[in-house]
Amino acid sequence: MSKKILITGGAGFIGSHVVRLFVNTYPEYQIYNLDALTYAGNLENLTDIENASNYTFLKGDITDESYINDLFEKNQFDGVIHLAAESHVDRSITDPLAFAKTNILGTMILLNAFKNLWQDQWQDKLFYHVSTDEVYGTLGETGLFTETTSYDPNSPYSASKASSDHFVRAYGETYGMPYVISNCSNNYGANQFPEKLIPLFINNIINNKALPVYGDGKYTRDWLYVVDHAIAIDLVFHKGENEETYNIGGFNEWQNIDLIKLLCVQMDEKLGRGKGTSEQLITYVKDRPGHDLRYAIDASKINQELGWKPSVTFEQGLSKTIDWYLSNTVWMERIVSGAYEDYYKKQYK
């Protein structure tokens, strides 16, 4: 069936993988990628599909209400897959208001435009909100986040995402808007902006720069290969139950320091450097304020109900990821300049 689907944030890390998957898998759909091209948006992530006949890029800001209302009226989107967001915890600590604006207000503006467009003619319409496991706050040494874990966000980033999740539910309850939400763990893979742990450390190892480990490095995250997240989003969009939440995770918990050591080993091998070379770059630095100790996802619902599971092991995914960054040094060099340099100096002074 032909559909018009708006994907927001499609020039970013996860969004670009979702856009590519949808453009290539569903030639009968018209895919619109709406992105403001903030520091995190990069159209070079999508050069392979930019001329596809079922793909349109729209440069625009989700917080611009009149632009969004006009866009929805003009294009009559059947579905929205909403990924546009400010996404980096450290930036949310220095500039929380930017997170409230994009993540809360921007989401509400989209919800409102979708509601005004379809009112109560909701058949075959869907608002899919892509969210994070960080809304659940932090775990201790044991336990897993399930879909019924109470929200308990600790950072301005996770609080803004939690708030946006609540608004999506509220639009479902109040206006009957069909929606699904997914809450995913930490992603890694090609095209991730080098402010996040894995691409930052890959780039620093390549350039023999210090690897800044926050606190004692004993924080734990569950890591998922980004292509597997995109596949899960496709499944949830097409087969997920209305008004349901799906937790998506890699069944793959790592303490930061162990992950960093594995990364150092793989990098030494691939760069032909002696064993232990990259580990010498590890430098313990001041901890992140309010640093969540542990995230871990129980992904059994999406596994059992939709048959999804990760397709690669962490070692395989990490190896593919490093290979991608090593063969795309120009992509990295173009990012690591100008405004990003200023941010890096401020954050790691």
Which residues are at the interface with ligand TYD (CB under 6 A)? 89, 186, 196-197, 200, 212-214, 219, 221, 256, 288
- Is 133 a catalytic site residue? yes
Which residue among 11, 80, 227, 281 contacts ligand NAD (CB under 6 A)?
Answer: 11
- With CB under 6 A as the contact rule, which of the stretches 31-39, 67-75, 165-173, 254-262 interacts with ligand NAD? 31-39
Closer residue to ligand TYD in complex, CB, 85/110: 85
342 a catalytic residue: no
250 binds, among ligand TYD, ligand NAD, none (CB under 5 to 8 A by kind): none
Q: Does 37 bind ligand NAD (CB under 6 A)?
A: yes
Using rule CB under 6 A, residue 106 touches ligand NAD:
yes
Q: Which stretch binds ligand NAD (CB under 6 A): 35-43, 114-122, 261-269, 292-300?
A: 35-43
Catalytic choice (86, 133, 147, 253): 133
31 is an interface residue for ligand NAD by CB under 6 A: no
Look up 234 and say whether it is catalytic. Answer: no
33 contacts ligand NAD (rule: CB under 6 A):
no
Three state DSSP letters for the chain = CCEEEEEECCCCHHHHHHHHHHHHHCCCEEEEEEECCCCCCCHHHHCCCCCCCCEEEEECCCCCHHHHHHHHHHHCCCEEEECCCCCCHHHHHHCHHHHHHHHHHHHHHHHHHHHHHHCCCCCCCEEEEEEEHHHHCCECCCCCECCCCCCCCCCHHHHHHHHHHHHHHHHHHHHCCCEEEEEECEEECCCCCCCCHHHHHHHHHHCCCCEEEECCCCCEEEEEEHHHHHHHHHHHHHHCCCCEEEEECCCCEEEHHHHHHHHHHHHHHHHCCCCCCHHHHEEEECCCCCCCCECCECCHHHHHHHCCCCCCCHHHHHHHHHHHHHHCHHHHHHHCCHHHHHHHHHHCC
Binding residues for ligand NAD (CB under 6 A): 8-9, 11-15, 35-38, 40-41, 61-63, 83-87, 102, 106, 130, 132, 161, 184, 186-187, 193
Catalytic residue ranges: 133-134, 157
